[in-house]
Amino acid sequence: MTEMAKRYERNMGGYGANPPDAAWPGGARIAVNFVVNYEEGGENCLLHGDTYSEAFLSEIVGAANWPGQRHWNMESIYEYGARAGFWRLHRIFTRSNVPVTVYGVASALARSPAQVMAMQEAGWEMASHGLKWIEFKDMPAEEEEAQMMEAIRLHAEVTGERPRGWYTGRASMNSVPLAALEGGFDYIADTYDDDLPYWKRFGGREQLIIPYTLDANDMRFASAQGFNTGEHFFTYLKDTFDGLYAEGVAGRPKMMTVGLHCRLAGRPGRAEAVRKFLDYVLSRDQVWIATRAEIAAHWAQEHPPAETFRPTELAKDAFVAKFGSIYEHSPWIAERAWGLEMGPAYDSLAGMHMALARAFRSASGEERMGVLAAHPDLAGKLAAAKRLTAESAAEQASAGLDALTDAERAEFERLNGAYTAKFGFPFIIAVRDNTKGTILEAFNRRLSHDAESEFAEACRQVERIAYLRLSEFLS
């Protein structure tokens, strides 16, 4: 039976400390995307075949579902979004000819022909928000897939073309994989994990993910500790924009999304915050206001998916063959590292260094002593006989230890002998961090250490050597 590795599917690494330059059009410092969620008429309601009324994202904070009953107040709140709120937001954006992405629930769009026509006449992007605005967490994958396919069909029937973007919203663990494997979406938005788009692989296919937002989102008007006034909303949006804009000025351009709902931000006191923020954005230079479809097209052109080396996907034998020499003559460290619970964040220099270091640190004192003893003397007999490993030979040469004078060689031999006699293992130092002079200084200084502290120092140096070797492997 093939041994299986423990693998953690979540990615805690992302772009890390050095995200790519987004290269937004015109050298923009930030890309801003406005999303209008159109859900009114797609929410839970007995008229829609559901078994209870809606309870989510309305003026009735803390509402509960009413099993077997319609909820007059809740229905009328949602109706406000379609009847009044939508048109208020529509006027705000169209007066400035600002592009907007619509997350349209297919059944809601089908019940709102005038609003759909207005969206299309304004040139807004029409992405899919699923068939119904309901919770999917307990739905069987087969049923969710069937609803997704019906959402695509109905969306195309209502708007004239299939959606190219997808956002479930109240997603299950199956939602994103199902959308990715459907294969027809330029992007999926059901994540909140980054300020930039990124590619994620599903079944051998690379899918573009454009993260959405739940913080720069008017849904916080309908949640505990959320926005209480339009001014709160405006201030938060402005602060978010200013923070991201400053990062763009510093050479790290990002993306900002603003999430809106017709029944929430479409209320007059909140719509003013949207208008004020839009005016603020339009007053700044080097800002790209774009739909998510435009962002997806840009990212696919400027940052297409690249084949990357993923060490965590290697079989055990291949992993050990690749990393077995990182710790001197100790392939068992790579074997143990392979068996750790590693995820995508480990497919990096930092990740592989941590995995190998964990295997080394968790080994017994006797095993670690064996790793120390496996290292050659600096400028010793193995070097003279050209019997060093390729890694050790290159490292010693980097500090000129392969070209010593007779006096220097004699001094190294004396120090090697004294050190080994005292501690029982060779003197170990990350040669690439040093020169002949600093190595000799460290030799003399560390000879004064006690056995315990020097063992710890030697282990730290072993890990540093491993890191430097890995940096060449994975550069």
* Residues recognised as catalytic: 375
Q: Which residues, including other chains, have CB under 8 Å from residue 44's CB and lie 6 or more apart?
A: 50, 52, 53, 54, 55, 65, 132, 133, 134
Burial class (CB in 10 A: 0-12, 13-18, 19+), 305: middle
Q: Which residues, including other chains, have CB under 8 Å from residue 379's CB and lie 6 or more apart?
A: 396, 401, 402, 404, 408, 409, 412, 413, 416
- Cα separations in angstroms, 21 against 162, 410, 465: 31, 53, 31
Following DSSP, what letter does each residue of 406-434 receive, concatenated? HHHHHHHHHHHHHHHHHHSS-----GGG-
Pairing type for strands 287-289 and 198-202 reads unpaired
| Cβ–Cβ under 8 Å, residues 31 and 288 | yes
| Cβ–Cβ under 8 Å, residues 327 and 360 | yes
The amino acid that residue 20 corresponds to is: P
Cα–Cα dist 233/60, whole Å: 19
Q: Which residues, including other chains, have CB under 8 Å from residue 108's CB and lie 6 or more apart?
A: 38, 39, 40, 41, 42, 43, 82, 129, 133
- Distance from CA of residue 248 to its chain's centroid? 19
Measured distance between the N- and C-terminal CA atoms of the chain, rounded to whole angstroms:
34
